[in-house]
Structure 1
Amino acid sequence: MISVHTSPLAQPGSGEAGGMNVYIRELSRNLAHRGVEVDIFTRRADPEQPPVVEADYGVRVFALEAGPLAPIPKDQIFCHLPEFVTELAFQISRNGHPYELIHAHYWLSGWAGYLLKRYWDIPLVQMFHTLGDLKNLLSPRGSIEPVLRLQVERGLLRLADAVIAANPDEREVMIWDLQADPAKICTVPPGVDLDHFRPADRLAARDQLGLPDRPLVLFVGRIDPVKGIDTLFEGWRRLLDSLEPGDTVPLLIFLGGRRTESAAGPQFEPALERVIGEARRLGIEGSILFLGSQPRAILPLFYNAADLCVMPSRYESFGLVAVEAMACGTPVVASRVGGLRFTVEDEVSGLLVPPDDPVALAAAIRRALADHRLRTRMQVGARQAAVRYSWHGVTNAVLQVYQQVAQRRELLPCP
């Protein structure tokens, strides 16, 4: 597997790490559990980062030197791909470990994967996780993906042996808007660990985390314009303004960005400082708890402690956070976009609202918090819906794609 721009070992919610990191780590672990040998290659972005780490079930993560040993913007990584590919090929020739298939994640990894596909003459399976054309369509003005990305993505749709789409809409865009061969595009949504993310006692979770017993709304995600944090804050301000005298003020738990503790108090990375500054400008800082990104080991506690999870994203190919929350029996208020339209069923496992609509977002949050019967019904529906995304089923589907391209370079139509 190739994940050039971000390591699957990085903590989601900080820097570029997010749902894709979780997907790669969990899929690799589940494949290895089935007896598939998996190596993951990423760019080394820190001199302290070990060159090789053995993760679950013997999965190895190689960090290759390509460009500076420091985080750099994704757009600058492309020029270092030849160095990355050369180093990867050298590692493999030295270890004498031929591969049968490449699975690339994101467009940068896809181009590296294509170069290696030509060199080794083995199949390439591509998953974009996000499409530049869709991000340009749905992101705020000024947040435009580079032309290079759009060209590479269109090229990979033609050059890869198979492409995995995370949802039916994404598949349709690839076929009708980007002229991809329908026989190459298979829809396989990501999965969720149903043993790790499962319902637990809400009050006990709050007590363990030291959270108050009041209405709690949870946001989990990277600090990125596509996540709709501006819409969330404007909606939150409207929600607070709509409270009647005597109403309990809800608390928004914000898990994103990097926060560290010091003798002088909490320290926040610049991106999180800017987010906090925006909350301060809107006068809502006092009702938001900025905790930074959290280890996955304790994320289920936060999901179970919350009354609601909110995802005001402008675009999500899947929406892993939504499914993790649902697996814990926590309803989700989400934008009606991308994969969220399929993972969250309106009034069954959560509430769907138009993107970029703080008024609708505030109304949905208020309704879900006020209507105990609705919320209880959605709690049950959320867990039932999440069961469809077990890693067992997802791994089976991905293995089917692998077997198909390994046996026949010309794909049969996907089932």
Structure 2
Amino acid sequence: MRVLMVSWEFPPVVVGGLGRHVHALSRELAAAGHDVVVLSRAPAGTDADTHPSSDGTVDGVRVLRVAEDPPHLEFGTDMVAWTLAMGHGLLRHALTSLLPGWRPDVVHAHDWLVAHPAIALADVLGVPLVATLHATEAGRHSGWLPGPLNRQVHSTEWWLAQRADEVITCSSAMRAEVSALHDLDAGAIHVVHNGIDLRRWRSRATAPAPAGTGPRLVYFGRLEYEKGVQDLIAALPRIRRRHPGTRLLVAGTGTQQEMLGTRVAEHRVRRSVEFLGHLPDAELTALLRAADAVVLPSRYEPFGIVALEAAAVGATLVASTAGGLGEVVRDGETGLGFEPGDVPGIADAVDRALSDPRAARRRARAARARLRTDFAWPTIAARTAEIYAAARPGPPQNLPRPKIPTGNLFDRTP
């Protein structure tokens, strides 16, 4: 099949896990014989002089990188205007540089930021529109849509979900969430897990020698409220009472780093927590391999690809049961779990992991073995291709604006 993927990120432009997902999925589809084109953007804050539009091949995939247009728009301060401008640039480039000589059999949109160009292309071409919803705005805010921007994003998600001929989510938890939030039949939503490329985690670099002799806990990922790092910091005094000398190493960046620094001071663990910032892959792999436990305390997690990455290096996993994490990390089988936001539960789960290293290693081996079956990219690509083949194009739709409910949307979820 000829597949046109539309994504707001594609390596080296990577904001989160979505970019790596699109890269791996497109690569595996191309390896299976499909003709894949990815339509994406140049880095934010650039222009056609510094980063002109380009047309090249990456791992067998044709990649169109579209330059930003001249208007001075910034994602952080002008999100909706910036997103609309990006979508206009992607659409214009597709119509002028791609479609005159190449026509897709299916358009695959990845998340709400590309709703406008993806819907327009599917409508103009009369081909099926497949949409993967990687997360939801309400989910990122614990069920709330507190401001106008949140409601704008939510309504765009709703539009994409309603217009798509097939909808994909990365976990059963996300399927239930998308169904409830966007008025879809859960039975019509496909669950296709994210995957992992084990080759990326083969580095044999060694981590620096730890300061002290106590256990070493590691968190890695974005530093955002929904990731729950503040709960792990709150649990650290309890953990240290049971396991003296325990240190927490935090790898990653995000908007909540200042808040987390305040929490460290409040819980009097300044000497036991180190913020490492963003680490290159080799250094991160070494850090994970040397950890006594990798702790993922998310309050909201559509899937939890970081759990796969930790499992790939054989790390001991301790994770919340939030969303897809509970499907990735099976309590007592491939790791240990706790309820999201449960500070005593975090301390208890970490205590269990540190107190029985033999059982921890057994669970780590089971987690890594599962990567070669349930989370292998060739399997995921084959399942996605089946969805493409079965998709049938619907007519262009003029949909009304969705009503935005007040209060916590998750309280309405059956």
The interval holding the TM-score normalised by the smaller chain is 0.7 to 0.9
1:399 aligns with 2:399: no
How far is the alpha carbon of 1:71 from its aligned partner?
A: 4.7
2:79 is matched with: 77
Q: Is the 8 A contact 1:85 1:115 kept in 2?
A: no
How far is the alpha carbon of 1:235 from its aligned partner?
A: 1.3
Q: Which whole-Å deviations, capped at 9, do the CAs of 1:119-178 have from their partners, x for residues lacking one? A: 332221111111223334457x96997112222222222210111111112223333553
Aligned counterpart in structure 2 of residue 22 of structure 1, from 12, 20, 23: 20
How far is the alpha carbon of 1:42 from its aligned partner?
A: 2.7
SS of match in other structure, 2:60: helix
1:165 is matched with: 169
Q: Is the 8 A contact 1:32 1:59 kept in 2?
A: no
1:155 aligns with 2:123: no
Of residues 332-341 and 19-28 in structure 1, the stretch that sits farther from structure 2 once superposed is 19-28
CA separation of 1:92/1:115 partners in 2, compared to 1, >3 Å: closer, same or farther?
closer
1:252 is matched with: 248
1:56 is matched with: 59
Q: Is the 8 A contact 2:239 2:246 kept in 1?
A: no
Q: Is the 8 A contact 1:161 1:184 kept in 2?
A: no
Q: Is the 8 A contact 1:127 1:164 kept in 2?
A: yes
1:409 aligns with 2:393: yes
Q: Is the 8 A contact 2:52 2:67 kept in 1?
A: no
**Aligned AA (1:363):** D
How far is the alpha carbon of 1:350 from its aligned partner?
A: 0.9
Aligned counterpart in structure 1 of residue 294 of structure 2, from 309, 331, 334: 309
Identity %: 27
TM-score, L = length of structure 2: 0.82
How far is the alpha carbon of 1:191 from its aligned partner?
A: 0.3
**Aligned AA (2:220):** V
1:336 is matched with: 321
Of residues 57-66 and 127-136 in structure 1, the stretch that sits farther from structure 2 once superposed is 57-66
Of residues 155-164 and 278-287 in structure 1, the stretch that sits farther from structure 2 once superposed is 278-287
2:397 is matched with: none
| RMSD (Å), alpha carbons | 2.8
1:381 is matched with: 366
How far is the alpha carbon of 1:360 from its aligned partner?
A: 1.0
Q: Is the 8 A contact 1:233 1:279 kept in 2?
A: yes
Unpaired runs of at least 5, structure 2: 395-414
Q: Is the 8 A contact 2:289 2:315 kept in 1?
A: yes
Aligned counterpart in structure 2 of residue 186 of structure 1, from 190, 194, 197: 190
**Aligned AA (1:91):** H
1:175 aligns with 2:179: yes
CA separation of 1:10/1:122 partners in 2, compared to 1, >3 Å: closer, same or farther?
same
Q: Is the 8 A contact 2:84 2:116 kept in 1?
A: no
Q: Is the 8 A contact 1:31 1:38 kept in 2?
A: no
Q: Is the 8 A contact 1:138 1:314 kept in 2?
A: no
1:263 is matched with: none
Q: Distance in 1 between matches of 2:228 and 2:148?
A: 15
Q: Distance in 1 between matches of 2:291 and 2:157?
A: 38
TM-score, L = length of structure 1: 0.82
Q: Distance in 2 between matches of 1:287 and 1:10?
A: 34
1:127 is matched with: 132
**Aligned AA (2:353):** A
**Aligned AA (1:292):** G
1:41 is matched with: 40
1:300 aligns with 2:285: yes
Alignment of 1:256-295 (within 5 A): 256-257=252-253, 272-295=257-280
Runs of 4+ in structure 1 deviating by more than 6 angstroms, as ranges, are 141-145
Q: Is the 8 A contact 1:217 1:307 kept in 2?
A: yes
**Aligned AA (1:162):** E
How far is the alpha carbon of 1:338 from its aligned partner?
A: 0.6
1:265 is matched with: none
How far is the alpha carbon of 1:349 from its aligned partner?
A: 1.0
1:215 is matched with: 215
Unpaired runs of at least 5, structure 1: 12-16, 259-269, 411-415
Q: Distance in 1 between matches of 2:220 and 2:258?
A: 16
CA separation of 1:363/1:284 partners in 2, compared to 1, >3 Å: closer, same or farther?
same
How far is the alpha carbon of 1:187 from its aligned partner?
A: 0.7
How far is the alpha carbon of 1:248 from its aligned partner?
A: 4.6
1:14 is matched with: none
